[in-house]
Amino acid sequence: MPSPSRRSKWSLAVTGVLLASGALTPVAAQAQPADRWVVSGPSLTATVALDQTTGTLSLGATRNGRAVLAPAPVGLRTTGADLSRGLRFVSRADRTVSEQYAMTTGKRRNRTVSGTEARLAFATAAGARVDLVVRVAPDGVAYRYVVPGPVTVTGEASAFTVPTGASAWLLPYNAWYEANRVQTTAGGAAAGDYGNPSLFQSGEDFVLLSESDVDGRYPGSKLRHTAGSGTYQVVLADEQVTATGELRTPWRTAVIGDLATVTASTLVDDLAPPSKISDTSWVKPGKVAWSWLSENSSPGNFERQKAYVDFAARNGWPYVLVDEGWSASWVPELVRYARAKGVDILLWLHWSNLDTAAERDTTLPRIRDWGVKGVKLDFMESDSRERYQWYDAVLAKTAELHLMVNFHGSTIPHGLARTWPHVMSMEAVRGAENQPPAANNPVQAFTRNVVGSMDYTPVSLDVGPKEASVAHEVALPVVYESGWTHFADKPEAYEARPQALRFLDQVPTVWDETRLVGGHPSSGATIARRAGTRWFLGAIASGDARTLSAPLSFLGSGDWLVEVVRDTTSSARGDVVRDSSVRRSTDVLSVAVPRNGGFAAVICPAQTGRTTCDEPVKQVPTTSLAITPAQELDAARGTSFEVTGSFTATGSSALTDVVLTTTAPAGWTVTGLPVRRGMLAPGETMTGRWTVRVGDSSPSGYTDVPVYAEFNGERVHVEKAVRVFVPPDVPSGTPYVSDLQFIGEENGWGPVERDRSNNENTGGDGNPLRVGGVAYAKGLGVHATSEVSVYTGRRCSRFTAGIGLDDETTETGSVVFQVVGDGRVLFDSGAVRAKGAARAISVDTTGVRMLALRVTDAGDGKNFDHADWTEARVTCA
């Protein structure tokens, strides 16, 4: 709780105490006019005024006596009452806010919240009530509404007014927040809608407008501007929002202060609800190797993803993100390969893959069971309440399953990472994948990144427009904060620049402290961040070559070893160089940078004999694991089989706390105990043996029985799996393939559709199958690249179908149809490049155990490759 001397700086009138989370401190009552209420802090003051003639409310704010927000309307409109006019004052209750909380990500791990809050109650002549809650914090002002329910809101009168001549950095609105920011003035900005957060500067005062505590109770908002005006009106994404109980709206938020205060602000997080997760030990931020931007097709290539895993392991990066194009047929094996090297796998998903409870309850547990540690969810592209309810549902389910999350194609952070600490990052920025100009980079540090982790995907060296220098790119993981930092380029680009890679191997992704050292939204940003005893400095500039200066006053007393990473004058895209010197906090670091240049630095306490601030890159000891049976095994329900595992420390390091065991799938049983060793010396082997029984009601299809070893304090996980096939009933007669169980299913866009066309990405959204103008009641609708497999048990002698491109696409795709029996191609259509009548095929499948129907993209990409297997059926004994 604040000391009395601290509390005396926060002056409030009080008629009661409002109960809420955090420490509560009553504040002495003061007389104030009946139509004007003041909420004050040490430097900021918010004033709410009631126009006695119209009954309208306004709110303004000052900083050190200077007006930064002119009085602007506040209030709500509902279907039952207009709560923006005709109001009268009812009561006021005040409290002092004092909280502490910890974050898993962000610019500062440990947070302290202080502020003053007033709840002003107003009512109409008919008795309809609205409470206005106003909070003043050291770094800004915020307000929200509380309305008794049930209620349907049709809009807000909420607005912010800044001086018309104020400089402005605005984001033309779209629901995925990926436009370039526009530098203009508050009054000179074009009429239209702008996205949060929006930054304004008037003299020495900066104001960043945004919102906080937005979830499925309410839609998001944007800022609507009329040309020539300094007022920015809050406009909701939905025309109406209904609450059955009391409604607490999101906070309308203004971060206010000098540029350093705005940059370091945690106000958006401070206003958000506390964490809903009590145990966050499984939440692990970190660096991520990512292939999609530099090699768009590589997420579909198992061997290439293994190369990214190897690169991450060599450099101590804990994650590899496998983006769009991965296959369920090999991801489990990639996960096992990666975990043995101390690397975990993250997977990309389109949001619509999880848009129903049933999909969330099947897809997410399945990838969790593979050993995947997190997901990148993409293309939400909406601020509607319905989409925010989807966020709520996904966050609850991923938290339950201990899956971390990155939201891409998303809204902006609204304090989400405080409430749900497994949110590692969000996009909502024109990041590297959209090839932004270098001039767009500095402003992001003072706008978008202020409100939360930003998935910009930095450090583009060989990919992208190459406008920024290499040192500028290398500095971005310090200038930009993100709990997961997805590096944009491929291993070869980084390994060709070993000094750049050396710095990237050292830079953290979570910080204990953040300081603005210098810069301005229009020209550059220099930011210092501390992790433990080391400081990291990142400086970027836009425009002509010049010298960047960084005062080292953020350092403590004593001598500090400063290692500067900078561009050379000999090569625009070559490696950086590293310079070392011993400095003190009174020094100023000056570095000459080229056009759109920058520099980075790592700084640590100088000690006798210390020559670098680098810490050792963590390497996982090499091991080997052999299992039996090593080949795929058929096992009927109720039968048993034996599994063995032999684990060897093949490297030069001894392993400690080693456990070798297996795990039974749900409904199966394992007989035999884990094998344990306190230490396994180099060259030693330990062996375990277990009996596994298939469950009596086990579903048919493939199941992995993992055998794994874990060791050392960080529980390195080395795993292989016995592949078990539980056969379904063998088909009889002439069944349609769409009526059989799919043993395997891959599809290039959304799921395979039974008896419908592929259409879009959501399951069940297909149209009637139609090829060459003829509709078919039965068949499969797929999208290249696709493969569906069914079990025929060597009892089906023929497969028949019609093949062709579905009529539903506006343009014609190109595909190849293949029928595959036990891995052998039995039929190949050649390239089908035109729409038209379905082509009848009949394929001999005598002796085939597993039949697969495959569609490829004919080698020219998968756009418009909607393919149909019409009337597809098998003839069986």
Is 586 exposed, middle or buried, given 0-12, 13-18 or 19+ CB atoms closer than 10 A? exposed
The crossing angle, in degrees rounded to 10, of helices 470-479 and 498-506 is: 0
Q: Could you tell me the domains of the chain?
A: 4-258 (2.70.98.10), 286-428 (3.20.20.70), 431-615 (3.20.20.70), 623-726 (2.60.40.10), 737-876 (2.60.120.1060)
pLDDT value of position 33: 55
What is the mean pLDDT of the segment spanning 433-448? Answer: 96
Distance separating alpha carbons of residues 287 and 571, to the nearest angstrom = 27
Reply yes or no on whether the pLDDT at 28 is more than 60: no
Would you state the pLDDT for residue 763?
84
Helices (H), 537-588: none
Secondary structure of residue 311 in the 3-state scheme: helix
Summarised one tens digit per residue, pLDDT across range 751-805 is: 999 999 999 888 889 999 999 999 999 999 999 999 999 999 999 999 999 999 9
* Euclidean distance between CA atoms 180 and 542, whole angstroms: 15
User: For 427-450, b where at least 16 C-beta lie within 10 A, e where not — what string?
Assistant: bbbbbbbeebebbbbbbbbbbbbb
- Token digits of residue 41: 């802090």
Q: Which pLDDT score is estimated for 481?
A: 98
- For residue 627, how many C-alpha atoms fall within 13 Å in the half-sphere facing its CB? 23
Q: What is the mean pLDDT of the chain?
A: 94
> Which two structure tokens, joined as six digits, stand for 568?
């050379």
Q: Using the predicted structure, report yes or no on whether residue 9 has a pLDDT greater than 90.
A: no
- Take residue 358 and report the two structure tokens written for it: 């049933």
C-alpha Rg value of the chain to the nearest Å: 31
Structure-block tokens of residue 250: 């999101």
**How far is it, in rounded angstroms, from Cα 62 to Cα 39?**
11
Confidence of residue 569 (pLDDT cuts 50, 70, 90): confident
| pLDDT at residue 712, as a whole number | 85
Please check the confidence at residue 29 and state whether its pLDDT lies above 90. Answer: no
Quote the pLDDT of residue 409.
97
**H helices of 276-425, where?**
302-315, 331-339, 357-370, 385-401, 416-419
Distance between first and last Cα of the chain: 80
Residues involved in catalysis: 378, 433
Cα–Cα distance between 804 and 684 in angstroms, integer?
Answer: 58
Q: Which helix (H) or strand (E) holds 798?
A: strand 796-805
Give the residue, 24 or 611, on which the prediction is more confident: 611
pLDDT at residue 715, as a whole number: 75
Residue 17 has pLDDT above 70, yes or no: no
Rounded CA separation 378/350 (Å): 5
Model confidence over 350-398: pLDDT tens digits? 999 999 999 999 999 999 999 999 999 999 999 999 999 999 999 999 9
DSSP string for residues in 199-222: EEEETTEEEEEEEE---TTS--EE
**Gap between the Cα atoms of 7 and 877, Å rounded:** 86
CB 838 within 8 A of CB 797: no
pLDDT of residue 5: 31
pLDDT of amino acid 571: 65
Tell me: the pLDDT tens digits for 137-156?
999 999 999 999 999 999 99
Give CA–CA dist 874/877, Å, rounded. Answer: 10
User: For the chain, how are helix, strand and coil distributed in percent, rounded to 5?
Assistant: 15, 45, 45
Three-state SS for 641?
A: strand
Q: How many CA atoms lie within 13 A of 18 on its CB side?
A: 23
- Which of 179-193, 453-467, 501-515, 712-726 is the least confident region? 712-726
Beta pairing class for 560-566 and 598-605: antiparallel
Q: What span, in angstroms and rounded, lies between the C-alpha atoms of 721 and 210?
A: 49
* Residue 616 C-beta-side C-alpha neighbours within 13 Å: 3
CB contact burial 167-202 (16+ within 10 A = b; e otherwise): bbbbbebebbbbbebeeebbbebeeebbbbbbbbbb
pLDDT of 188 above 80: yes
675-680 and 655-662 strand pairing = antiparallel
Give residue-wise pLDDT tens across range 536-554: 999 999 999 999 999 999 9
Contact 214, 176 (CB under 8 A): no
pLDDT value at residue 714: 67
What pLDDT band is residue 6 in, cutting at 50, 70 and 90? very low
Asked if residue 197 has a cis previous peptide bond (ω within 30° of 0), the answer is yes
Q: Please give the share of the chain, as a percent, with pLDDT higher than 90.
A: 93
Do residues 208 and 450 touch, judged by C-beta distance below 8 A?
Answer: yes
pLDDT in tens, 831-861: 999 999 999 999 999 999 999 999 999 999 8
Phi/psi of residue 791, nearest 5 degrees:
-85, 125
| Model confidence at 82: pLDDT above 50 | yes
Q: Which residue has the higher pLDDT, 535 or 715?
A: 535
Q: Is the pLDDT of residue 268 over 60?
A: yes
For residue 306, the tally of other CB atoms under 10 A from its CB is: 17
pLDDT in tens, 406-421: 999 999 999 999 999 9
pLDDT digits (tens, 9 = 90+) for 210-254: 999 999 999 999 999 999 999 999 999 999 999 999 999 999 999
Mean pLDDT is lowest, of 64-78, 322-336, 703-717, 734-748, for: 703-717
Amino acid found at 213: D
Structure tokens at 714: 């960080």
How far is residue 874's CA from residue 795's CA, in Å, rounded to a whole number? 10
Helices (H) and strands (E) in the chain, counts: 12, 57
Q: What are phi and psi of 225, to 5 degrees?
A: -125, 140
